[in-house]
Structure 1
Amino acid sequence: MIDAPLCLFRTRVPPEWVDYNGHMSESRYLEAVGDNSDAFFRLIGIDDAYRATGHSLYTVETHLRHLGEAAEGDRLRCTLQLLDHDTKRVHFFHRVVAEADDRLLATAEQMLVHVDIGAARSAPIPDAVREKLADIARAHAPLARPDGAGRSIGIPR
C-alpha cells in the first residue's frame, strides 16, 4: 500500500528556525522539504550505500511558495506527490502543512536528475529504483495536479 500523497517527514519548529519577524525563516522551509526529499530517496533506495556506488539524485530546480507562517513550536507535516519521472529525472511536489489546523504553509516543486557523481553528468536511473518510482506513480496517478505546480514567477503585465 502506497500513500497518496506520501507523508514522510514531520517536525516541530525549533527556536533556531525562527527569524527576526517571529516566524519560521524562509530558508527553513527549504530545509524541511529537503528532509522530506531525503526520506523519499531512502524509500526508493537512494541511501548511503547507494551513494557509495557513485550515483545519486541532484536537485536541478526548486520553486518554493510561501503561503502561511509557522511559529516556534508548531508541528509541521510534509507530504510529497510524485508528478512524473523518466529514465534520468524525477519531478515531485511537496506540501508543508501546520498539523494543528491543516493550514497549507508552503509548497515546493522540484526537478531532480540522476547523476554519475564521478563523471559529473546525468546517468540513467537503475531499473530497481525506476520500478519503485513506477509503483509510486501508479498510486499517485488519481491525485489532482497540485495547485501551483508548473507555475512560473513574474509580474503579470
Structure 2
Amino acid sequence: MPDNEPHGLTTPLEGIAADPFQPGEAIPAPLRLIRPTVPREWVDYNGHMSESCYLLVFGDQSDAFFRKIGIDEAYRAGGHSLFTVQTMIFNLAEAHLGDPLDLAIQLIDADDKRLHIFHTMHHGKTGELLATGEQMLVHVDMNAGRSTPMPPELHARVHAVLAAHAGLERPSQVGRSIGIRRDKK
C-alpha cells in the first residue's frame, strides 16, 4: 500500500522524516529512542498492559530505529522497507495504566539483507525489567515481493550501529526457543 493511501494502524513517528546517523556521529549503545507511558487503550480486562501491546511498543521503537538508519515514508515510497520475519517476546512483569516505560534497542547482528535486533522494556521509575523482544528483520523490495540487499548508504548506517553495539553484552534471552521443558528420565 503506498504511503499516501489511508491505513488503520499508525506509529507515533509516522510522517516525521528520518534523522539518520551521520558518518562519524557517536551512536549510543544501546539506543534509547522512545519513552511512552501506558495509556488506557493498552490496558486489558486483567488490569495490566495487554500482551499485544508489548509488541506494539516494540514496533514503535523499531520505527524510531528505522528513522535513525534512514528508513521513513520517503524511503518506502522508493519500493523498499524492512519487514519482520520472526519475533520472540518474553513478558517478565506487568505494566499498568500510567506506568512510564524505558525502552532500549540493541543491534545484535546484521548482514546484507537482515537485521537481528533486541528490545528491552523497563519500568521508567523502578527500573524493573518488564519485557524483552527479539526480532529478525529482512530488507525487502516491495514491488518484487522478495528480499533484497540494502543500498550502500543504509548498509553503512546499519553496520555503524552494529560496530557501536559490538561491546554490549549479549542478552541471555537471545536465540532461545519456546517449548515445555521436561525432566529426562
Q: 2-side partners of 1:146 and 1:78: how far apart?
A: 15
User: Normalising by the residue count of structure 1, what TM-score does the alignment of the two structures yield?
Assistant: 0.99
**Shift in Å, 1:134:** 1.1
In the alignment, is residue 42 of structure 1 matched against residue 40 of structure 2?
Answer: no
What residue is the counterpart of 2:171 in the other structure? 146
What residue is the counterpart of 1:2 in the other structure? 27
Q: Which has the larger radius of gyration?
A: 2
Which of the two has greater strand per residue?
1
Q: 2-side partners of 1:122 and 1:135: how far apart?
A: 22
Query: Any stretches of 5+ residues in structure 1 without a counterpart?
Result: none
User: Normalising by the residue count of structure 2, what TM-score does the alignment of the two structures yield?
Assistant: 0.84
- 2:34 is paired with a residue of what secondary structure? strand
Q: 2-side partners of 1:100 and 1:80: how far apart?
A: 19
Q: How many residues align?
A: 157
Q: 2-side partners of 1:67 and 1:147: how far apart?
A: 13
Q: Superposition RMSD on alpha carbons, in Å?
A: 0.6
What residue is the counterpart of 2:156 in the other structure? 131
Query: Any stretches of 5+ residues in structure 2 without a counterpart?
Result: 1-25
What residue is the counterpart of 2:106 in the other structure? 81
What residue is the counterpart of 2:15 in the other structure? none
Q: 1-side partners of 2:35 and 2:145: how far apart?
A: 33
Q: Deviations over 1:18-42 (max 9, x none)?
A: 1111100000000000000000000
**Shift in Å, 1:77:** 1.4
Q: 1-side partners of 2:90 and 2:179: how far apart?
A: 13
What residue is the counterpart of 2:124 in the other structure? 99
**Shift in Å, 1:147:** 1.7
What residue is the counterpart of 1:121 in the other structure? 146
In the alignment, is residue 32 of structure 1 matched against residue 57 of structure 2?
Answer: yes
User: Structure 1 residue aligned with 2:85, among 55, 60, 83?
Assistant: 60
